A = this chain, B = another copy of it.
């Protein structure tokens, strides 16, 4: 239809294909179910709950059950393609390159709208890592989740 710019669908498909390749390179496979879950997460940047996801999956796969979703999510999280927002039992796609970059990233979770923003700030992360190291601790994962009210919700209280 449109050759001037890639359509959103094309962007999504591109991302999925890339994710698939990246999985394969690690000996894992992005099966249809997993790909579907990832696609759903990509389409909902605010994140989705496991059971919302389940409802949506059922449209394609009527037999889907909780384990279907959780298994797919575990896989995606293992592969660095998705994250769980602990606070809210919310899952989001890691649409950014945080898993490509070596530097850990910040996840800003808005408690009002559930929006998740990924923020890259090497100065902060460097300071944080240094401080943890000084205390003998070691960052668990490259994603640090922080509760912070987003600009939109700050403006409209």
Contacts and interface: CB of A to CB of B under 8 A. Distances in A.
Most B-side CB within 10 Å, residue of A117, A145, A148:
A148
A148 to B, nearest CB: 4
A1 interface: no
Interface in A106-149: 106, 108, 110-111, 117, 119, 121, 123-124, 127-128, 131-132, 135-141, 144-149
A151 interface: yes
Copies of this chain present in the complex amount to 2
A136 B154 contact: yes
A141 B135 CA distance: 23
Interface residues of A, number: 31
A128 B124 CA distance: 6
29 contacts: A86-B86, A86-B145, A106-B131, A108-B135, A110-B137, A117-B137, A119-B132, A121-B131, A123-B131, A124-B127, A124-B131, A127-B127, A128-B128, A128-B146, A132-B148, A135-B151, A136-B151, A137-B149, A137-B150, A137-B151, A137-B154, A138-B148, A138-B149, A138-B154, A139-B146, A139-B147, A144-B146, A144-B147, A145-B145
